[in-house]
Structure 1
Amino acid sequence: MNITELRERALEIGKVTEDFDLEIEELQLEEEVACFAWKHRKNEDNGIWIEISTNGTLLDLNKDLLSPSALIFSEKQLYEMAIDFVLNHYPSALQQFAFEEWKREENRGYRLSYVQKVEGLALPHTGFWLSILEDGEVVLFKYVGMAEDIRIPQLIMEKEKIKERFLRELEMELQTTNLSNELYNFTGASSKLVYEPSFPFSYLCADGTSVLEDVEEDTEEELELVSPPKIERLLNELIGFNEDEYEKIRESDLGDEIGSVWRPKNFTSEVEGTSISDFFQKRNQLTLKFKHDKKTNHLRGVFSFLDRKGELFLNEEQCKKLALEFLFTLYPNADEFLRMVRRISQDEEEGNFIHFHFNIHWGNVRNRFGSAWIGVNRTTGTIDHYLGPDMNLEDLKKINTKPDISIQEAVRNYQKDFDVKLEWKIEYQDHTSHYVLVYVPDFPRLEGKVAFIDAQNGEVIVSKEYF
């Protein structure tokens, strides 16, 4: 099918009305896939994304709708409609794949999924899944298909021996963390001192062999921030942002953050194509992006697409001074919480940017989630990239960093619910992939897996399972 026929096919599948404008249209001949995207004229958040093969078969559908219609079907009717949708596009799908789940989704109707199974176990990234709203509208569909390279082991080690190996290699690291009720089940304050369980291997193969965790070659050295630098410029000056010379072109609600995109006034784009590359170029070309905390308006992120090139070529020490000035402008007591990590690579030293990485600590204990990255443009002296901590550093002061629970007791609390199970995993190697059967930690009595042990009261903190 040619691009015109594929577009008509996509319009039919997505039920795209005249209220939508085409934003992306790209035919990828090598992958034999055509991609299309439409946006609603009056609401940018209302869009439709479709991928179809060059023979017209639906591969991916994602519809962000303003709201479902008032029409509501029963759960049984919705299940039948979901099955009909799949069979309309893939008549033999129910024979190829095994039922995985049908479940209620928060604010999105129901989710149906089928997977390929081997040895009674599901193969990840196979089969298909979809989401259907109460009015019968299929708003999400993804077809992945069958696995190609499945390597069944000749030997499967006894489960108890594998379990013993896991527990023998178990490690516990003391750290502070800030937990979210959306991701974890816990009691008390969200800022805690915890032990995090880990193993020196990524997983154990079914035959008992192990795959070691990747170890970074670059060594890290953490340096304390001794004294605050002299603050010579305002924050916007360090970023190189004069609001009078820019206009805000977009603003997005990012949960607990607000994202805004700014562009120089009187900008005119010369990009006219509809490819995916053209789409991102139109959205990003000569923009300056910010992220601010929704409650405090504190700056959490900066990313420049301005392609700024000046006449300077600052050395590392000069860039470090600018990075620290920027950091202490945002956090006047940064030296209480942050330590600098500097990784040196030849490519970076010869480029136009020098990046600085800061880890978060409190009371000589490393914080689990949280760091800051600052990229200094050595040709202009501006801060072109910044990714800040996604937490209020002052909350760390509420944490007592002396544990009441020993490592041995934390290990015992972890072991109470610990088990192992077999599952298929995709292994990537030399630009190819294959499936291997592995043993992984399992917590059958819990609704999730053990993520941490509270270092003050020994509470088992469970991460919620999301599919």
Structure 2
Amino acid sequence: MTHLAPKLKQKARHIGAIPENYQLIIEDLDRERAFFVWQDPEHPDNDIAVELDCEGRFISLTKEYAPVAENELPEGELQQIALQFVERHYPSAAASFVFQEKKVTEQAVRYTYAQMALDLPLPQTGFFVDIAKDGEVLRFRYHGGADSVSIPKQLADRQQVISEYLDQVDFELTVEHIRRELYESGDDQPHLIYETRLPFISYPADSSAICEKTTPVDDEEEEETLPLPVLSEADRDVDLHELIGFSPSFRKIREADLGDSIGTVWREGSDPDQEDFGIESYFKIRNHNTLKIKKDKKKGKLKGLFSFIEAEGSPVWTEEACRKRALQFLYLLYPDARQYFRMHPLEKDEEEQNTAAFQFDLTYEGVPLRLGFANIIINRINGLVVGFFAPEIEPETLKDLNPSPAITREEAKDIFASVFDVELEWEEDDHYTLVYRPVYPVFIDAHDGKAYKRNMV
């Protein structure tokens, strides 16, 4: 397919309306598709990606930049422009698929169309278009239609499906950070909750189908965590930059706003030469000898890091020495770590591995936190911290949380049952299957009984 590269690239450039000053940074071709990315050299965060199939048919477009909508157009005109764009590349596509939804954001509007069967949309069919409010098409992806769909002869009884769910649902007491962007009525605060555990992810709508449990059964005993050892003042007297190998010679090469945090990328040494325009080469250049750091916007606290800086030599740091280094790093970031974290016991590791990974679980008054763990990776060649992933919940936010539930599991189950429902939906996995998909609260607040559902995306 490489002999078609110039022709495909020219077509992609035309489709993406690539400005003359943009530079090609990725040209990746295989037997199934061709993928091209151009970048604004003066504004590296602005890029345009175009994907074609092996026959040159347009698959997707992505324009990464912040549009300035000085002249916002009416939504009706935006939809008309979006459909004109689709018709230009796929005549009759708008008539072949059914309009599903319109999602409006601060910068753009997304229009989604899909193929229907039994008046229900088939996933991964049709297309979507994102259009800026000034009329610029920002994103497009064409999925096409389904060749065949198997229609059930008889549907399973809906009430019986609901009963099977409710008979086998279980709840686990834990602490969860209820984030606004993920859950309805979320407040970005930790809550003591009952997490629902369903016996099935979905239930076949065909009455002749057999429903198998999808929740894994764990016969093994849970690994017992250990309290953190006490570190001496001398062992706790460490410097963050020394632990992660950061020096004044590092250059900041990128910075990104990640919502509630800021991500920065630092490089040691000079930039590598670009070998080709393939995706592998692109990421090699972006990551070569870099240290990626993420910090909280408000407090500047370290939330994560990952090092791509290569270390020369053989792994000489023992597992015990690496664990001590991980503990030093944890105590540096969380001085009261022993009050909140418990440690997984060391596992026998292969000597040839160059890193040792450690997990520290957050617990509060004996209650585990659902996503409350810190992962720390130590390089066994030089003893540096080369990976860190902070817990989603900050330990100090737990101090005012009452660890004793006010409602029982049975009461939580009654609340859950009062709002639980199932909906018919097509599921795609090599072929289309009609299923009952549960609609339910993921969490029940263990203090006030409030039910939290996921936000619709």
Structure 2 length as normaliser, TM-score? 0.91
Please state how far the C-alpha of 1:158 moved relative to its aligned partner. 0.7
* Structure 1: distance between partners of 2:215 and 2:63: 38
Matching of residues 293-312 of structure 1 within 5 Å: 293-312=296-315
Q: Tell me which amino acid in the other structure corresponds to 1:456.
A: H
Count of aligned pairs between the two proteins? 449
Matched, 1:272 2:275: yes
Matching of residues 20-99 of structure 1 within 5 Å: 20-28=22-30, 30-31=31-32, 33-99=33-99
Matching of residues 87-236 of structure 1 within 5 Å: 87-103=87-103, 105-147=104-146, 150-153=149-152, 155-186=154-185, 190-206=189-205, 207-214=209-216, 220-229=222-231, 230-236=235-241
Q: Tell me which amino acid in the other structure corresponds to 2:102.
A: W
Is this contact kept in 1: 2:319–2:356, CA < 8 A? yes
Q: Tell me which amino acid in the other structure corresponds to 1:317.
A: E
Secondary structure in 1 matching 2:146: coil
Is this contact kept in 2: 1:193–1:401, CA < 8 A? yes
2:410 is aligned to 408
Is this contact kept in 2: 1:203–1:210, CA < 8 A? no
Q: Tell me which amino acid in the other structure corresponds to 1:300.
A: K
Matching of residues 237-248 of structure 1 within 5 Å: 237-242=242-247, 244-248=248-252
1:15 is aligned to 17
Please state how far the C-alpha of 1:233 moved relative to its aligned partner. 3.0
Q: Tell me which amino acid in the other structure corresponds to 2:71.
A: L
Secondary structure in 1 matching 2:25: strand
Q: Tell me which amino acid in the other structure corresponds to 1:136.
A: G
* Structure 2: distance between partners of 1:339 and 1:125: 43
1:430 is aligned to none
Deviation >6 Å, runs of 4+: 216-219
Secondary structure in 2 matching 1:322: helix
Matched, 1:317 2:320: yes
Structure-2 change in CA distance of 1:365 and 1:374 (3 Å) = same
Matched, 1:2 2:11: no
* Structure 1: distance between partners of 2:273 and 2:42: 24
Structure-2 change in CA distance of 1:95 and 1:172 (3 Å) = same
Please state how far the C-alpha of 1:14 moved relative to its aligned partner. 1.2
Please state how far the C-alpha of 1:108 moved relative to its aligned partner. 2.7
Please state how far the C-alpha of 1:148 moved relative to its aligned partner. 5.2
Structure-2 change in CA distance of 1:252 and 1:219 (3 Å) = farther
Q: Relative to structure 2, which stretch is displaced further, 180-189 or 84-93?
A: 180-189
Q: Relative to structure 2, which stretch is displaced further, 182-191 or 120-129?
A: 182-191
Q: Tell me which amino acid in the other structure corresponds to 1:64.
A: E
Matched, 1:394 2:396: yes
1:422 is aligned to 424
Is this contact kept in 1: 2:67–2:132, CA < 8 A? no
2:456 is aligned to 465
CA deviation map 1:23-54 (0-9, x unaligned): 112222x21x1111122222222221111123
* Structure 2: distance between partners of 1:156 and 1:37: 47
Please state how far the C-alpha of 1:299 moved relative to its aligned partner. 1.1
CA deviation map 1:130-169 (0-9, x unaligned): 1112222111101122335745445532111110000001
Is this contact kept in 1: 2:165–2:200, CA < 8 A? no
Please state how far the C-alpha of 1:205 moved relative to its aligned partner. 2.2
* Structure 1: distance between partners of 2:386 and 2:187: 39
Q: Relative to structure 2, which stretch is displaced further, 62-71 or 384-393?
A: 62-71
Please state how far the C-alpha of 1:214 moved relative to its aligned partner. 4.1
Please state how far the C-alpha of 1:275 moved relative to its aligned partner. 1.1
Please state how far the C-alpha of 1:365 moved relative to its aligned partner. 0.6
CA deviation map 1:339-365 (0-9, x unaligned): 22358476x554211211222111111
Please state how far the C-alpha of 1:237 moved relative to its aligned partner. 1.7
* Structure 2: distance between partners of 1:208 and 1:56: 42
Matching of residues 324-335 of structure 1 within 5 Å: 324-335=327-338
Secondary structure in 2 matching 1:463: coil
CA deviation map 1:240-296 (0-9, x unaligned): 222x2211111111111111111113x141333111111111110111111111111
Matching of residues 364-403 of structure 1 within 5 Å: 364-403=366-405
Q: Relative to structure 2, which stretch is displaced further, 71-80 or 180-189?
A: 180-189
Please state how far the C-alpha of 1:179 moved relative to its aligned partner. 1.6
Please state how far the C-alpha of 1:373 moved relative to its aligned partner. 0.9
* Structure 2: distance between partners of 1:331 and 1:218: 32
* Structure 1: distance between partners of 2:128 and 2:257: 27
Is this contact kept in 2: 1:239–1:382, CA < 8 A? yes
- Runs (5+) with no aligned partner, structure 2: none
Is this contact kept in 2: 1:108–1:131, CA < 8 A? no
1:445 is aligned to none
Q: Tell me which amino acid in the other structure corresponds to 2:70.
A: A
1:260 is aligned to 264
Structure-2 change in CA distance of 1:188 and 1:88 (3 Å) = closer
Structure-2 change in CA distance of 1:405 and 1:261 (3 Å) = same
2:433 is aligned to 436
Secondary structure in 1 matching 2:402: coil
CA deviation map 1:44-92 (0-9, x unaligned): 2222111112333211111123424533332222222211111111113
* Structure 1: distance between partners of 2:182 and 2:69: 31
Structure 1 length as normaliser, TM-score? 0.90
CA deviation map 1:308-327 (0-9, x unaligned): 13344333222211111111
Secondary structure in 2 matching 1:391: coil
* Structure 2: distance between partners of 1:187 and 1:302: 27
Please state how far the C-alpha of 1:112 moved relative to its aligned partner. 1.0
Secondary structure in 2 matching 1:46: strand
Secondary structure in 1 matching 2:45: coil
Structure-2 change in CA distance of 1:388 and 1:9 (3 Å) = same
